[in-house]
A and B are shown apart, each in its own frame.
Chain A
Amino acid sequence: MSATPSAASGGSLSGSPAGSRPGTLPGTARGTTTRGEHAASGTVGALEAPVESASARATRPGGRGPLGWLRRAGWRHVIGIVFSLYALLPIAYIVSVSLKPHGTLTGSNELFIEFSFESYARVLSDPAHPFGQWFLNSLLVGLCTAAGTVFLGALAAYSFSRMRFRGRRMGLLSLILLQMFPQLLAVVAVFLLVSKLGTIVPWLGVNSPAALIAVYLGGALGVNTYLMYGFFNTVPMSIDEAAKLDGAGHARIFFTIILRLVAPILAVVGLLSFIATMNDFVISSVILVDPQKQTLAVGLYNMVSNPNYADWSAFAAGAVMAALPVVIIFVALQRYIVGGLTAGSVK
C-alpha cells in the first residue's frame, strides 16, 4: 500500500512483472480489441438467434423440449444463475441488514423484510464513531494520493518512454523489482520514520493525513510507472516530433498533447490507486490513530471488532455507503480496467 495495487486478490496485476509489455500495445489498444470482440459477438448473437429458432433447433444435438434445451444451452444458464447468486449473496445480505431499523447480528438474517433508513441516520450521527469524518478523510487521502500518483507516474513514464539516457534501463528494471516489495512490508520503519518526522515538522507526524499521503506517494512510481510506460509507448513518436517542429517545448508537448492521448491509462492508474488507498489498513492504522482522523477501513474495523456485540445494522449502513462510490466507479470504468489489467496476459 502500501500502495498495494488493488482491491481483490488479482489486483496486483497492475504491478505484475509482465503487467503490460512494451510494444504489444496494451491499454486502449487492447481495450478496443476486447470491446470490438464483444460488440461483434453481441451482433452475432442477435443475428443468430432468429436463425436458430427457425431452422437450427430441430437439427441440433440434444433434442427438443425443456430437457433438450437444458442439455444444449441451459446448463450454462444454470451455472450462470448459481454463481450470480453466489456473487450477489453477501452484497444482498449487507444491503438488507443496512435497511433494518435497529439490528444486532441476531436479527439480521431474514433478508429484505424491513425497510428503513434509521441505521443510516444512526451511523451518520454517532459521536463515538464519526463515520462522516472517516468518509471525508478517506476521500481526501484517496483523491490526493490518486492525483499525486497519476502525476508522478506520468512524469516518470514520459521520460522513460520518450528520452534515452544513461541508467534508463537500470531505472526501469529497478522499478519492476521494487514493486515486488510493497510498502506494507516496511510498515514498522514507515511508522518510526513518520514519528520522527512529526518531532521536526508537526504537520507531517502521526495523525497527519499529509504524512499518510506522502507515504502512499512513495509507492507511486514502483507500482505504476511500468504500466504507464507501456501505454506511453503506444503513442507514436511522430506526434512529438511534429509538435517539436511546430516549436513546442518538452513541457508543452507533455502537458497539452501526450497527457490527453494517454488519458485512459491515467484514469486506470488513478482509479487503482484510489481503490488501493481506500483498502489500505496497515499503514493508515499506524499513522492515523486519533478516531477523528481515521480512514474508513480503520474506523469501521474498530467499530465492529466484535460483530456479536456491535451495532451491526449501523455498520452495514456504513459499509454500503463506503462501498457505493468504489463499486460505482469500478463498474462504470470496468472496460478500461479490465482492458488495462489483462493487457499483459492476453496476446
Chain B
Amino acid sequence: MTQTAEPGQAPSGTPAPTARPERRRRGDRVGPSLGPFILKLVLVGLFDALVLLLLMLLLGKREWTIFGVVLVAAAAINVIYLKKGALPAKYLTPGVVFLLIFQIFTLVYTCYVAFTNYSSGHVLSKPEAVQALLSQNQTRVPDSPAYPLTVVSKGSELGFLVVDPVTGQAQLGTESRPLTDVQAEITDGKAVSTDGWQSLTFAEILAKQNEIFSLVVPRSDDAADGTLRTQDGRTGYQFVSGLSYDADAGTLTDTAQGTVYTDGGKGAFVSSSGETLMPGWSVNVGTENFTRAFTEESIRGPLLKVTLWTFAFALLSVATTFGLGMFLAVVFNKKGMRGRKIYQAIMILPYAFPAFLAAMVWAGMYSKSYGFFNQVLLGGASIPWLEDPTLAKIAVLMLNLWLGFPYMFLVCLGALQSIPDELEEAAKTDGASAWQAFRLIKFPLLLVSVAPLLIASFAFNFNNFNVIYMLTGGGPRDMDAAIPVGETDILISLVYKVAFTGQERDYGLASAFSIIIFVIVAVISIVSFRRTKALEEVN
C-alpha cells in the first residue's frame, strides 16, 4: 500500500499522506457509508410507492385539491430526505406531518365547520344530495319492459344477472356497482350463469328473500336512470325516482304532482309552499350557529349554565384534590415515620386505576336503590345521587377527588421534602407555633412550586370528559333545552352530545361550542404563561 494510492481509495476528508491503516478504517465511517444510505433509499422508495397509490386513488375520486396538497407535500418530503443538510427538518418532519393533519388542520377545520350547517341532514355536497334524492322515493316505471333475472352471489355480496330486453346483452350489477355488460350463458332469453358468480337456486332465494327483495341495483352511474328491483327473484323491473332534476335551472320537479323545488339557500331544496326535501347539503351559514347559541333562549340558558358549571367543576376539583393532597402530605412529611411507604403505595392506587373504569364503577356504587353507598355506607338510604341536580354535581366532585388526590399528595410531598428543614427550625426558634410555621413559611413556598401544576390541573379538568360522561352522562337531563344537555354537563361533554348523541347530529352548532372552549382555553393559557414565565425559559 503506497501513499500515492491513498487519495483515490480513501473517501474525501481523510488526510491521505499520514493515513495509517487504523486511521483509514475510522475514516471510512466519515463518508456516506453504504448501509444506512441504502436503508434510506428503501424507506423513501416505500413512502413514494404509498404516495403514488394514494394519488391514484385521489385521481379516481377526482379530489383535485387533496391531490395537489398530497403531491406538493410528498415532493417536499422527498427533497428533505434526499438532499444533504437540512438536518433539523429530517428529524422534525415525521411528527410535524401528523401534527399538521390531525391537530392543526382539525382545529382550523373546527372553526370552518362552526360557520356551516353541517348536521345529520346536511352532510353531503350538493351534487351528492341530488343523487341521493333521485334514488329515493322510486316507483316502478309504468309499462316498462321486464328484465329476465337470475340472482347471483359472490361471498356475501348479492347481485342481479339480467338480459337487457332491448339489446339482448347480458348484464351484471350489485348494490354498489351499476349494471355492466358481462359474458354469460343464456338459455331461453335468460342469463343463467356467469364466471366468478354463483347462481342461487330457488331454495336459496327463499332463504334470503328479504335481502333479495330489498336489493336495489342502479342501472348506471347516473341516478336519473333509475334502478332495477325484483319481487320474485326471476324478473326485474325498472324503477325511477318520482323527482326529475333540471341541471340548468338547478331545480327538482315532482313528476306526478308538478311541484317544483328550488335551492332555498340554506342547503336544501324547498318548494314554493315551504316543503323541504331531505337530505340537504352543507353550506356556509355565516354566524348563524353563534347567533342561535347566544339568542335562542332554549340554547342560551343551558349554555350559560354549562359554562358556569365547567368553571366551578374545574376550580372545585383542583381545590378539593389539592386540599386533601396537601393535608396528607403534611401529615406524612415526617422523617422516620414508619409505614409511610406502605401508605404511599396504597394511596397511589386510585391514580393508577384507569379513570374511565373508576367512573363506571362509581356509577354503580351511586345507584339509588342498589348502590353500595346507599345500601352499605348509609344503611339503606335511598338518596338519588345521580338523579338530583345538586347531588349529581357533588357525586361528580367526590369521584374526581378520589381520582385526583393521590397525584396532589405525591406532588405536595415532593415539594415539602425539598423545603429545607432549617427554615422551619428558624421559625420555631423565633417563637412561631407549628401552625404559624406552616402557614407563613412552608405553605407559600409550597404554593410557588406547585402553582404551575395547579393551573395545568385546572386546564385538564376544564375538559375532563370521562369523569362527567361516564358517571352521569351529563345528566340529569334538562328537559326544557333544545339541545341534549344535562345538569352536570361541562362544555366538552356538551360538544360531544350535540355532535354525536342527539336526535339530530348538529356538527355546526357543536363546533361553535368548541370555539367557545378555544377562546376560554386561550385566555387561561395566556394568563398562565405570563405567570409562569415558561416562555422566557426557552432559549
Contacts and interface: CB of A to CB of B under 8 A. Distances in A.
Contacts of A4: 460, 463
Given A176-B534, A181-B521, A221-B99, A84 B347 contact: yes
Contact of B360 (A189, A218, A301): A301
Interface residues of B, number: 126
Nearest to B525: A180
Contact of B361 (A79, A87, A285, A319): A319
B369 A308 contact: yes
A221 B95 contact: yes
Given A105-B367, A300-B357, A41 B336 contact: yes
A67 interface: no
Interface in B9-50: 26-27, 29-30, 33, 36
B317 A9 contact: yes
Given A165-B88, A345-B450, A79 B360 contact: no
Contact of A80 (B66, B331, B376, B455): B331
A172 interface: yes
A88 B102 contact: no
B117 to A, nearest CB: 13
Interface stretch (B130-138, B260-268, B337-345): B337-345
A327 B352 contact: yes
A180 B456 CA distance: 9
A104 B375 CA distance: 14
B354 A326 contact: yes
A77 B332 CA distance: 9
B466 A279 contact: yes
Contacts of B346: 84, 87-88
B91 A84 contact: no
A159 interface: yes
B372 A93 contact: yes
B518 interface: yes
A140 B337 CA distance: 43
Given A192-B113, A221-B98, A221-B99, A159 B404 contact: no
A200 interface: yes
B470 A281 contact: yes
B293 to A, nearest CB: 15
Nearest to A195: B123
B57 A345 contact: no
B328 A83 contact: yes
B95 A191 contact: no
B110 A189 contact: yes
Contacts of B452: 16-18, 344-345
A76 to B, nearest CB: 5
Contact of B348 (A163, A307, A334, A345): A334
A185 B347 contact: no
Interface stretch (B149-157, B195-203, B227-235, B406-414): B406-414
A291 interface: no
Interface string A275-297: 10011011001100000000001
Interface string A130-155: 00000000000000000000011101
A99 to B, nearest CB: 15
Interface of B is mostly: helix
Given A189-B109, A346-B418, A163 B87 contact: yes
A282 B538 CA distance: 33
A345 B496 contact: no
Given A200-B61, A221-B96, A281-B465, A326 B352 contact: yes
A199 B346 CA distance: 49
Interface stretch (A114-122, A242-250, A259-267): A242-250
A136 to B, nearest CB: 17
B395 interface: no
Given A185-B463, A220-B98, A155 B92 contact: yes
Interface string A201-230: 100000000000011011111100100000
A21 interface: yes
B464 A9 contact: yes
A323 to B, nearest CB: 5
B537 interface: yes
A38 B469 CA distance: 39
B76 to A, nearest CB: 15
A255 B350 CA distance: 36
Contact of B343 (A12, A84, A93, A307): A84
A247 B511 CA distance: 53
A299 to B, nearest CB: 11
A94 B98 CA distance: 39
B449 A11 contact: no
B456 A44 contact: no
Given A169-B539, A323-B354, A281 B370 contact: no
Contacts of A189: 105-107, 109-110, 113, 511
B379 to A, nearest CB: 11
A319 B103 contact: no
A323 B357 CA distance: 8
Contacts of A10: 321, 351, 404, 407-408, 411, 453, 456-457, 460
B95 A11 contact: no
Nearest to B521: A180
B311 interface: no
Contacts of B205: none
Q: Which 6 A-B pairs have the closest CB atoms?
A: A218-B102, A16-B456, A10-B407, A9-B404, A12-B460, A18-B452
20 contacts: A8-B406, A12-B460, A13-B407, A19-B456, A80-B332, A155-B94, A155-B95, A159-B87, A163-B87, A187-B495, A187-B499, A187-B514, A191-B507, A221-B95, A247-B29, A297-B356, A300-B360, A327-B352, A330-B352, A347-B418
Given A4-B460, A200-B54, 12 more contacts: A7-B354, A37-B417, A77-B339, A151-B94, A156-B92, A181-B521, A185-B110, A188-B113, A192-B109, A246-B26, A330-B351, A331-B345
